[in-house]
Structure 1
Amino acid sequence: MSSAPGQLQVYKFKKEARISQETPPPYAFPADLHDIADYLPGGTELSSLLPRLSEQDKYYHGIIFINSTSQPTAGNTEEKDVLTELRNVYNTTIAQSRISQTPSEISKSANYRRNQATKETLLLDGRYDFRDPANTTAPPVEIYNPAFSQFLADIADPTLEVPEELIPKVAKLMDLASAIYNAEDTRRTKLQGPLNDVLDCALARVTNSDGTAPDGTGLHVLIKMTSKAAAICIEEYKNEYGEGSTDVTTQASFSMQRMWSLPENDFIRERCCCPTFLVAIGGPWIGVLGAVLTHKSIVQRLTDLAWLGLSTPLEEQRCIRLSKLFYSLARALHRLREWYNTELPAFPLAATPSHPRFFPSITSYPSPSGNVFFRYLRPLERDNACVAFLAEIVEGPERLLEPSKTDEQGQLIVIKFAARYCVEAHELLADMGMAPKLFHCGQAQPRRPGLLLIAMEYLSGTTVSGLTADQRQSCKVQSNVGNIIKVLHDNSLVFGDLRTPNIMYVNGSFKLIDFDWTGKEGEARYPPFLSTGIHWPPGVQPSALITREHDMELLRRLG
């Protein structure tokens, strides 16, 4: 195994090979390919077993990924545990989805509420049972595929020009949407053709192998490497919104999960997170959603429900706004179709613990010496909403990274996504050894200023929350962290979230690691969503100004 890090290699496994230290002879080839991984040379991981093998074959052939060995991954046991947990949750999601109620049944209000209270089957769509709340938030779908980011950028772009020929098509659709139909099938029949026209694609009713069927699935993209196709857009209709005690956006979500879980879609599902657009139509209302399948189904409303009907004779400007929505969606569907045809991996990745489905699709950031390319290793939190990842700098697709202090191949880094970040405070403390080195902070996706990618040094240590009471006392947490806070306050900066998970203890010194809330005193505010499970200092309220007094009270509590 002399291949360079970052490369793939075909590896041969003899069927008689030993596969477990506990397995007595004679040895048999394992059903679970992960059992082999422990016996591979260091710095490799098994990605997949090559297909089209017969029982008579003397050897199995597998795809091996060559990891960088220039720096060992810190917490490798934890990394393996986290990835194994994600894979197990994913397997449960697929298995449960195949045997669950049909999308039309499970999306009914009572069934949906029960589903969202069930850890094994809940959707990550933001909805939860009020009697048994679970965290159903998740990272934004746009970090998993650029088509979602393009859609959101387009609908927010005031300079985007809509083709003139599209506007009368949308006007026709609005007129038809205003009608009150006697049945759901009638509404779907009347609207389907005009909707296909405004989206410049063909959406047709397709039945899954288990007999379930979204009202319309579209853009069956023929994957160029095989004859396999992927339905990358799903429509759901309700004759009137809320009819049948069902939210049409929820039914579309379950239709997506059911479709991708079925065996006929294994080919695609083993290679990616199945990015899909959902178009929900309830009476004269329409909404667009984005969905991916990571360890669970993540579904997010990309638009509010838009009124598609006509109310007055003075609807020209709203017609133009709707035209922009449909044009943006058509462009995004074209981008997604292109992605499936050109960027889908050529081999299955289902046997890889660190499957790309678990991580964002963004794998580089700019630096003064050129783009830095990295690969994700694991999430840094065991939480559905985790947006921080341990990553490793790798060889880029175009050139080797030039060695430097901040972008050496094999270096461990933290990649984080945020809506806001105080670069000034982070760099101030990093220069004084009071924070990790900051390598990059900028837009995660083109034309999407509200989503930031932050790359920073990985600190191999523990958070203060991991220290015992005696350790905290001997390390003088309060006085040492107080020195860091004094530097911020002396520069008219406030931190805001001075809790133990945001303070690292590394080689005898303390460092702050989270600057999402940090900012100028008198300007920085708490986010509108504050955890109710945390005992905040007096005066801390959603969207309230962050004060020095708040920082000092949280500092006092560290003692």
Structure 2
Amino acid sequence: MPSPAHNLDTHVYFVVGLPDEDGTSILPGLQPNEGEQEVGDGVTAVPQLLPVRERVTQHAQGIVSAPSHAAQLKVYARRQNQEHAYYDGRYRHNMEKDTRGPPISMFHPSFALFLARLNGPTEAVPLDEDLVGYTYQFMAKSTAIYLKESERVDVLSDLFTHILRREVETKRVGSANPDGSLSFEFVIQPGNRHIMIPVAIFEYKVEPGSGGCDAGVQALSAIENFWLASHKSDVRKRGCCPTFGVAMDGPWMRIYGAVLAGDRWIYQPLLPAVYTAISSKLPATHILSVCRVLQAFRDAIDDICRRTEQNVQHDPSHPFSEASDEKLANMCPTTRALRPTVMTPAPTTCGSLALRYEHVLDQHNLTYLATLTSDWQSLGLRWPRVVVKFVERYGEAAHRLLEREGFAPKLLYCGKPYADTSPEFSDMDMVVMEALPDDGVVDTQSIAVKPPAEARRKVRDAVNVLHRHGYVHGNVTWRTVYVARARRDPDVRLLNFDYAGKAGEVRYSLYLPQMPEDVKLPDDVAPMKLVTVGQDRYFLEKLFAEK
């Protein structure tokens, strides 16, 4: 039963089934090492107690409350401190945790299309003249000061209907009753079932800071509520539930993207807050700029609807194959914790290559094992397995240099993930390289195993090749080195070139090289610091010395 209402700061809060701060987690999960199984060569498989989407549904249905309540500061902060936090990058003060998620454009190309249209050349997509007129009307009405939220909702929702060419309406689903929602209806066969799914959720505030909660978080909670509806379960199983969230704080517009990846909602702003008021006597440039945002938004909405209908008309198999002992035993040798997931990245073609994802290799570094479904023999590969990475930048030139010297795997592709459908999208790169065989590999991550002196010499030789050509690597550790067991001439390859590039030009990102416990990182290896030759020399001295 609901607890009694508590009057706090002139607002009335109804707390329904929410735990205390030190109570149980919202989504109980596996504890470290709980249920883990060694399946060979040091590879650890972590079984799931339930399929992740069943877990998230069962637990979330017990804790998700009305969006206006979920977006209250204390309730939101409590959730972000628990296991089932939103992946939006936020965490509670003094309780830092990593709630950053992969870029949502990895999981659905419609978000990549939106970003490509925003960041691409303005002449690439001509503006719709009717939309220019509606944008002016929208901005003129957005400029006004409203004393009642309902007035702003009625006026702007009607204009959004014209802008998006789809009806924005108020619709209650479960405990969600957002200020506006845009749904898409289609028919699932067999059975002739009509399904309505949310494509965009709108939340308004009269002015920034009003209403006692954040409109962006409120929109996310409404998205979560909508997708928990049982009649959407078939659709939820077949995709990542791509949905836009629109937060209107007075004249400020924020547009977010949300996907359900595995058992977590990833929620990310797709552009900085846009000022939609007309404040200058010379407003034409600003109006056209807002119009481009709205046209990109409309095109992405249409793209989600088209792709969703195509997806649901088919009955695809589970995106990731079940992990067998044989497959696990032949994983990339640098993988020591394999955690299957139901989500796959969206890009499956790159240049002339076509591939099918098999397993997650490294969730932090967004690395996957995949199988080429296109012709691979002509590429000179020993087998069709490849490693796929999604990166902000990649040291392609450094990788290809060491590949020519025999010190790096064959690099098959390094470029845009949506080169065919959204060539202007440039927020990340897709890297595809050959997967090296795991048989007869030295376990370079085991403390008890010291790689042979010849292997250490070859690592030093590889790094020296980079330095002679003006490059740095930035991550020379045994976790990023492949060593095939051989008595006299071991095969040695450097695997990670995320931080490689010209000395003085490349920087570390958030995730730093992983060192043995008894070796600390140099002081100048830190997020956003430049990668230097001296750092590479430090790695060689500490980890790859002759003796």
TM-score band, normalised by the shorter chain? 0.7 to 0.9
Note the 1:105-504 alignment, pairs <5 A: 105-119=69-83, 121-157=84-120, 158-159=122-123, 160-208=125-173, 210-223=174-187, 225=189, 226-295=193-262, 296-344=264-312, 346-347=314-315, 357-366=342-351, 371-381=352-362, 383=363, 385-394=364-373, 401=375, 403-406=377-380, 411-445=384-418, 446-461=423-438, 466-468=445-447, 470-472=448-450, 474-475=452-453, 478-504=456-482
Contact preservation (8 Å) 2:88, 2:100 = yes
Task: For residues 450-507 of structure 1, give each alpha carbon's deviation from its aligned partner in whole angstroms, at most 9, with x where no partner exists.
Answer: 4211111112446876222x42264566433212111111222111122332222333
Counterpart-to-counterpart distance in 1, 2:483 and 2:91: 36
Aligned to 1:22: none
Shift of the 403–484 alpha-carbon distance from structure 1 to 2, 3 Å rule, reads closer
Contact preservation (8 Å) 1:273, 1:357 = no
Is 1:557 paired with 2:524? no
Shift of the 528–364 alpha-carbon distance from structure 1 to 2, 3 Å rule, reads closer
Per-residue deviation, 1:430: 2.0
Note the 1:503-518 alignment, pairs <5 A: 503-507=481-485, 508-518=490-500
Per-residue deviation, 1:89: 4.1
Shift of the 317–185 alpha-carbon distance from structure 1 to 2, 3 Å rule, reads same
Q: What is the DSSP-based 3-state SS (H/G/I as helix, E as strand, rest coil) of the residue aligned with 2:129?
A: coil
Contact preservation (8 Å) 2:88, 2:267 = yes
Contact preservation (8 Å) 2:391, 2:498 = yes
Task: For residues 350-408 of structure 1, give each alpha carbon's deviation from its aligned partner in whole angstroms, at most 9, with x where no partner exists.
Answer: 79766995111111222xxxx22211111112x4x4411011122x5xxxx26324467
Counterpart-to-counterpart distance in 1, 2:451 and 2:367: 29
Counterpart-to-counterpart distance in 1, 2:480 and 2:391: 15
- Aligned residues with identical type, % of pairs: 25
Contact preservation (8 Å) 2:320, 2:344 = no
Counterpart-to-counterpart distance in 1, 2:341 and 2:113: 21
Per-residue deviation, 1:436: 1.4
Is 1:92 paired with 2:55? yes
Aligned to 1:526: 507
Q: What is the DSSP-based 3-state SS (H/G/I as helix, E as strand, rest coil) of the residue aligned with 1:441?
A: strand
Counterpart-to-counterpart distance in 1, 2:317 and 2:50: 12
Supply the AA of the counterpart residue of 2:402: L
Per-residue deviation, 1:218: 0.6
Counterpart-to-counterpart distance in 2, 1:433 and 1:457: 13
Task: For residues 238-280 of structure 1, give each alpha carbon's deviation from its aligned partner in whole angstroms, at most 9, with x where no partner exists.
Answer: 2222323322111111211221122121010011111111111
Number of paired residues?
A: 468
Counterpart-to-counterpart distance in 2, 1:86 and 1:500: 33
Counterpart-to-counterpart distance in 1, 2:41 and 2:107: 25
Counterpart-to-counterpart distance in 1, 2:507 and 2:69: 41
Counterpart-to-counterpart distance in 2, 1:402 and 1:457: 10
Contact preservation (8 Å) 2:413, 2:431 = yes
Supply the AA of the counterpart residue of 2:412: F
Counterpart-to-counterpart distance in 1, 2:442 and 2:88: 30
Contact preservation (8 Å) 2:185, 2:194 = no
Counterpart-to-counterpart distance in 1, 2:342 and 2:467: 42
Contact preservation (8 Å) 1:363, 1:373 = yes
Of stretches 451-460 and 220-229 in structure 1, the one that deviates more from structure 2 is 220-229
Question: CA RMSD for the aligned pairs?
Answer: 2.8
Counterpart-to-counterpart distance in 2, 1:548 and 1:261: 52
Shift of the 556–86 alpha-carbon distance from structure 1 to 2, 3 Å rule, reads farther
Counterpart-to-counterpart distance in 2, 1:196 and 1:413: 45
Supply the AA of the counterpart residue of 2:223: M
Per-residue deviation, 1:88: 4.4
Q: What is the DSSP-based 3-state SS (H/G/I as helix, E as strand, rest coil) of the residue aligned with 1:227?
A: strand
Aligned to 1:103: 67
Contact preservation (8 Å) 2:479, 2:514 = no
Q: What is the DSSP-based 3-state SS (H/G/I as helix, E as strand, rest coil) of the residue aligned with 1:279?
A: strand
Counterpart-to-counterpart distance in 1, 2:508 and 2:53: 31
Per-residue deviation, 1:293: 0.7
Shift of the 521–533 alpha-carbon distance from structure 1 to 2, 3 Å rule, reads closer
Shift of the 473–407 alpha-carbon distance from structure 1 to 2, 3 Å rule, reads closer
Contact preservation (8 Å) 1:148, 1:290 = yes
Shift of the 353–229 alpha-carbon distance from structure 1 to 2, 3 Å rule, reads farther
Q: What is the DSSP-based 3-state SS (H/G/I as helix, E as strand, rest coil) of the residue aligned with 2:248?
A: strand
Shift of the 406–219 alpha-carbon distance from structure 1 to 2, 3 Å rule, reads farther
Per-residue deviation, 1:302: 0.4
Contact preservation (8 Å) 1:414, 1:455 = yes
Shift of the 86–166 alpha-carbon distance from structure 1 to 2, 3 Å rule, reads farther
Contact preservation (8 Å) 1:406, 1:439 = no
Shift of the 548–356 alpha-carbon distance from structure 1 to 2, 3 Å rule, reads closer
Counterpart-to-counterpart distance in 2, 1:240 and 1:169: 22
Shift of the 492–532 alpha-carbon distance from structure 1 to 2, 3 Å rule, reads closer
Contact preservation (8 Å) 1:221, 1:232 = no
Q: What is the DSSP-based 3-state SS (H/G/I as helix, E as strand, rest coil) of the residue aligned with 1:553?
A: helix
Task: For residues 326-352 of structure 1, give each alpha carbon's deviation from its aligned partner in whole angstroms, at most 9, with x where no partner exists.
Answer: 011111111111111223352275797
Shift of the 533–239 alpha-carbon distance from structure 1 to 2, 3 Å rule, reads farther
Shift of the 501–356 alpha-carbon distance from structure 1 to 2, 3 Å rule, reads closer
Counterpart-to-counterpart distance in 2, 1:393 and 1:298: 28
Per-residue deviation, 1:325: 0.4
Structure 2 unmatched runs, 5+: 1-38, 323-339
Contact preservation (8 Å) 1:464, 1:501 = no
